[in-house]
Amino acid sequence: MNRHGILLPLLLLSLICQTGCWDRREVNEVSVVTGMAIDTGEEMKYRLTVEVINSPELNQQQGGAAAPAIVYWREGHTIAELAQKMNTGLTRDLVFSHMRLLVISLDVAREGLFDFLDYLERSREIRNDFEIILARKGKAADVLQITYPVQKVPSIKLNTQMQTLKREWGGDPDIRLKDIVNSLMSPGREPVMSIVKIRGSAEEGKSVSNMEKVTPDALVFMDGLAIFKEDKYVGSLPVEAIPYVLLADNKLRETVISAACRENASERFTVDLKDTRAKIKMAVKDDIPQIHLGIEVEGQIDGTECADDLSKKKVYQAYESRTETVLAQRLKDVIVLVQTRYGSDIFGFGEEMNRQQHDYFQRVKGRWNIQFSKAAVSVKVNAKLRRAGLVTNTFKAVEQKEG
């Protein structure tokens, strides 16, 4: 007991030497950074814009007409240096741990990501799970300033938008810092990124009055997929291609496609694909990679323009085979487009090759992108349509049957 009586206070006193936790910062003495934008500077290499929350404005009771966020920029040689210099214009300590979005301008992406990715990964405060997007046209900083009536803070609005888009349609690759870093490190994968664009006038979108209109003066929308080779931007795909890119990577959760009821027919039916799986098989023939994609999809009929009798099994089978053909064709088109135009393996086929044909991949690792562009791709889709919503037949079909 006596021994403990001395030991315990000593142990507690020794805690004071533990300096790790002395970075005491009250929440009302900090500004929370929710978004960052990186542009090329006019005088120096970079121009960093940070968006901090104007938190009283977001309070449900006190919130009013003032701007929900404050944006400040400064030019400098490195992002790391700039991040610490932001207090040249902002009053409080910046906290980066809640950053949700990093916007990169096209110019910066063309020059390469490596120079600042190191800082983002190394920094203790910044998480590795914020979204990274590319701003097409104009400054990346503009994206952080377009207000929106519901999620008032621009970067939180975009973050939510991308999450929803991914869940509902598979239209966002959901690229976080860790994904970029992983694909840069992996020899069998190249980075991709969502591209956003401002619809309307960026200047008018920066004001609070943008939040007061039914059709906002400016709106940030998703406009495609950026393709990188190493850490440099090489080109883009339209936003329609994103679900197929995700499907080839087995990351698609849900999407919608429409197809003509019969070949060359003008009426179309639409299928909501709910459960999508891709089995990727790699083979090598004469030093050329053979990529076999076995796609399994399950879905439901969302709507049809044709007068087919949906109570018949045969019709379902016909629709299934149409879905299979169309899906396979589009998927193949996207892959071939990437192969021929960009020669950059954004699908991660190389990683799969490494797993399945390890010896071969180790041999061609250094020139995988060239091998990838030569690869023969075959797609086989197995679609199953399970149900057709609340009604079995369209009124059109019922009419025909009775009449």
Partner 1 sequence: MGSGERYRSGSELPLTGNLDECREEMTELFGETKDLRMEDLQIGQKQAMLLYLLTITDAQLLTERVLQPIGRLPVEQSVASVDEFEQLCAKMLGGSAHVILHTNQDAVQKILEGFSVIVMEGVSAAVAIFTEGGGKRGIQEPTTQTIVKGPKDGFVEDLRTNLSLLRKRIRNHKLRIETFTIGTDTGTNVCLIYMKGIANEGIVEEARKRLQDIRTNAVFETGNIEEFIADKTITPFPTVYSTERPDAVSAHLVSGKAAIVVDGTPFVITLPTVFNDFMIAPEDYYQSFMMGSFLRLIRYLSFMFALMLPSLYVSVITYHHELIPTPLLISVISQREGVPFPAVVEAFLMEVTFEILREAGVRMPRAVGGTISIVGGLVIGQAAVEAGIISNTMVIVVALTAISSFVAPYYIFSISSRLLRFGLIVLGGVFGLYGVFLGLMVMVGHLCGLRSFGVPYLAPIAPFIMKDQKDIFIRLPVWASKLRPQMLKPDSAVKQQESESPSPPPVYPSERRGKRKSKGDQP
Alpha carbon dihedral 132, 137, 143, 145, in 10-degree steps, equals 160
Alpha carbon dihedral 105, 110, 114, 118, in 10-degree steps, equals 0
Mask for 81-110, x = binds partner 1 (CB under 8 A):
--------------x-xx-x----------
Q: How many CB atoms lie within 10 A of CB 200?
A: 16
Alpha carbon dihedral 318, 321, 323, 325, in 10-degree steps, equals -140
Q: How many CB atoms lie within 10 A of CB 12?
A: 9
Mask for 317-346, x = binds partner 1 (CB under 8 A):
------------------------------
User: Phi, psi (5° rounding) for residue 387?
Assistant: -155, 175
Say which DSSP state 340 is in: I
Least separation, in Å, of the C-beta of 221 and partner 1?
A: 23
Least separation, in Å, of the C-beta of 165 and partner 1?
A: 19
Q: Does the protein bind partner 1 through residue 21 (CB under 8 A)?
A: yes
Binding residue for partner 1, selected from 6, 10, 15, 214, defined by CB under 8 A: 15
Cβ distance to partner 1 smaller for residue 148 or 228: 148
Q: Does the protein bind partner 1 through residue 364 (CB under 8 A)?
A: no
Q: Does the protein bind partner 1 through residue 55 (CB under 8 A)?
A: yes
Cβ distance to partner 1 smaller for residue 51 or 217: 51
Q: Does the protein bind partner 1 through residue 59 (CB under 8 A)?
A: yes
The full DSSP string for 53-119 is: E-HHHH-TTT--SS-SEEEEEEEES-HHHHHHHGGGT-SSEEE-TT--EEEEEHHHHHH-SHHHHHH
Cβ distance to partner 1 smaller for residue 34 or 105: 34
Least separation, in Å, of the C-beta of 72 and partner 1?
A: 18
Q: Does the protein bind partner 1 through residue 62 (CB under 8 A)?
A: yes
Binding residue for partner 1, selected from 3, 24, 122, 313, defined by CB under 8 A: 24
Chain centre distance of CA 354: 25
Give whole-number Cα distances, 225 to 132, 173, 222, 297, in Å: 12, 8, 9, 23
Mask for 116-145, x = binds partner 1 (CB under 8 A):
---------x-x------------------
Cβ distance to partner 1 smaller for residue 64 or 403: 64
Start-end of H helices in 292-378: 313-337, 349-356, 358-364, 368-374
Q: Contact residues for partner 1 (CB under 8 A)?
A: 8, 12, 15, 18, 20-21, 23-28, 30, 32, 34, 53, 55-60, 62-63, 95, 97-98, 100, 125, 127, 156
